[in-house]
Amino acid sequence: MSGCGAAQTSDDPPTIGFLAQNTSRDFSREMSEGFQAGVSIAGGVRAEVTGPDTHDGLKQVELLRDLATRAKGGIGVSAVAPELMAEPVAQVIGQGIPVMAVAGGQVAPGSGVKLMIENDGFELGKVLADATADRLPPDAAGKVVIGSNSPGMPALDRRALGMRARLAERLPKLQVIGPLDTGRDLTTNLATWQRLADANQDALALLGAGDVDAINLATVHAEKNATWLAAAFSIDPKALQGVKEGHLFATISAEHFLKGAVAGWMLAQHAKSGRSLPEGWFVAPGLLVQASNVDEIIHRQSGEATRLEAARPQIDALTANSLKYLRPLDQAR
């Protein structure tokens, strides 16, 4: 994490910033590291990354206002609660500081934000559902339980909707339950999945929409020597190990490092040269991780250098022609 304590002079490089959802969870740290990597690739600016210790929307508002006193070149915001951030973000934009949304699933009306870098969560949900359906008979008629560790968060809600829609399409005889609230706290989430596994021992699959879900589904599957399928959304080391050991048949990476890197590169280019920021929903790719590629992803995730080496071709491709990846912002709602 870097910043500038003293006031900038006209000879200083501009400062940009990134406000993370938190500093404790794997996905959020990935995004922050990606932002720094994108800034380094672009060069010519200073960067400051901050965020609350845990999911805390009010603390994010406080940190945004503080960050805006220094990061005059632009700020990327990964909001815990986009609606809560709308007015504070609008105030920052009113000061002439560009703000882009990075993940979070949507841009809240009234925020004034014109660019969001985020996956298509609905499509990623369909990818996970397809991977599930491919492992079940075409006439499968049992139960599938979907859980979400953060219901109400747009990105996860869209993943769950995508899973439900594709499962209904591929396997119409299934009984799809959920999404059920599995809890954001790691301990609570584990206990919830244990209860759901006990209550649905005949389930064909237990699927999670979030990162904590992935970690704990792998644990519960191993504890119970389960025969049901398990999958979710995370490349936390424990989730990847779960795939390697066969306790998760798949997990999806939302490629948070890549999203952060694209945001850092775009803001840096804008701050140092006035290069225009695109407007709309920049649809970032995701990645299905299974037994066939899990070793490659474990290696990729082993350090910042290996993450950047793997991501660099994608960063270059995504930033070379941003218009190719843009959709209207209102399609994200």
Q: Per-residue confidence of the chain (333 residues) as pLDDT tens digits?
A: 333 333 444 558 999 999 999 998 888 999 999 999 999 999 999 999 999 998 888 999 999 999 999 999 999 999 988 899 999 999 999 999 999 999 877 888 899 999 999 999 999 999 999 999 999 999 999 999 999 999 988 889 999 999 999 999 999 999 999 999 999 999 999 999 999 999 999 999 999 999 999 999 999 999 999 999 999 999 999 999 999 999 999 999 999 999 999 999 999 999 999 999 999 999 999 999 999 999 999 999 999 899 999 999 999 999 998 899 999 998 886
Q: What is the pLDDT of residue 273?
A: 93
Token pair in block for residue 95:
């000061």
Q: What is the pLDDT of residue 6?
A: 37
- CA–centroid distance for 312 within its chain: 18
- Which residues lie across from 20 on neighbouring strands? none
Q: What is the pLDDT of residue 1?
A: 34
How many CB atoms sit inside 10 A of residue 57's CB? 15
- Which residues lie across from 232 on neighbouring strands? 251
How many CB atoms sit inside 10 A of residue 275's CB? 12
Q: What is the pLDDT of residue 7?
A: 42
In b/e form, how buried is each residue of 151-160, taking b as 16+ CB within 10 angstroms?
Answer: bebbbbbbbb
Spatial CA neighbour of 174 closest among 148, 149, 227, 137: 137
Pairing mode of beta strands 326-327, 280-283: antiparallel
Q: What is the pLDDT of residue 104?
A: 78
- Residue 270 and residue 268: Cα distance in Å, rounded? 5
pTM exceeding 0.75: yes
Q: In angstroms, what CA-CA distances link 199 with 100, 194, 202, 219?
A: 43, 9, 9, 17
- Residues in CB range of 320: below 8 A, 6 or more apart: none
The angle formed by the CA atoms of residues 23, 156 and 139, to the nearest 5 degrees, is 140
